[in-house]
């Protein structure tokens, strides 16, 4: 697939790598980001040199990457919904400081520790909040592209929705690969 087509394919909810769940006042979306997807977004071109592709694949390593997107079903942004200014700062502070502990990732063969959690700061101006996550396999290796399903567990400490389990169907990756 050309890089632009590959990005669209990965983001298509019908392919199982982007899953949305509604809980209470919020919609939670988990987007799996294969390494090639991240490279295609960086390059912003359908022409990616094979040397660059190989180098970036090696640099990005073995971690599994996700965006965890939170939207409010109300009129506010997710981090402002149902709270005052102090509550908004408590929520953002939680994701900056303790958020990594809220996320776990499991497959049939491994458990993955969250080793990166970053809240994209929008200062309440965007309609959604994006938390960028990376998980490191305990076994040290993971086959890319992913060929099995993964379950991400979000143990909510902020929104009062409890525990959220979201399964992405990495088995659909199959032989779908990005080409230059």
Q: What is the pTM of this model?
A: 0.87
Contacts of 34 (CB under 8 A, 6+ apart): 10, 17, 65, 144, 145, 146, 173
- Positions of E strands within 73-127: 103-106, 111-119
Model pLDDT, residue 103: 96
Query: What angle (nearest 5°) sits at the alpha carbon of residue 176, between those of residues 166 and 66?
Result: 30
Neighbours of 98 (CB within 10 A): 12
**Phi and psi torsions of 158, nearest 5°:** -120, -45
Q: For the chain, give the percent of residues with pLDDT over 90.
A: 43
Q: For 19-53, how does the pLDDT look when each residue is reduced to its tens digit (9 = 90+)? A: 999 998 889 999 999 989 999 999 888 889 889 98
What is the tens place of the pLDDT at every residue in 114-160? 999 999 988 767 778 899 999 987 776 666 666 788 999 999 998 88
């Amino acid at each position: 697939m050309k890089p632009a087509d590959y990005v669209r394919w990965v983001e298509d909810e019908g392919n199982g790598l982007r899953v949305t769940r509604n809980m209470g006042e919020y919609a939670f979306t988990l987007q799996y980001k294969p390494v090639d997807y991240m490279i295609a977004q960086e390059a912003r071109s359908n022409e990616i040199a094979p040397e660059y592709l190989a180098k970036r694949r090696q640099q990005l390593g073995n971690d599994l990457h996700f965006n965890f997107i939170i939207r409010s079903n109300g009129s506010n942004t997710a981090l402002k919904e149902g709270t005052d200014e102090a509550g908004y700062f408590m929520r953002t502070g939680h994701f900056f400081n303790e958020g990594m502990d809220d996320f776990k990732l499991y497959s049939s063969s491994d458990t993955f520790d969250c080793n990166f959690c970053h809240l994209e700061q929008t200062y309440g101006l965007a309609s959604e909040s994006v938390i960028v996550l990376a998980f490191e396999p305990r076994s040290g290796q993971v086959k890319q592209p992913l060929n099995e399903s993964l379950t991400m567990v979000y143990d909510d400490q902020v929104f009062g929705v409890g525990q959220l389990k979201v399964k992405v169907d990495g088995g659909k990756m199959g032989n779908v690969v990005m080409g230059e």
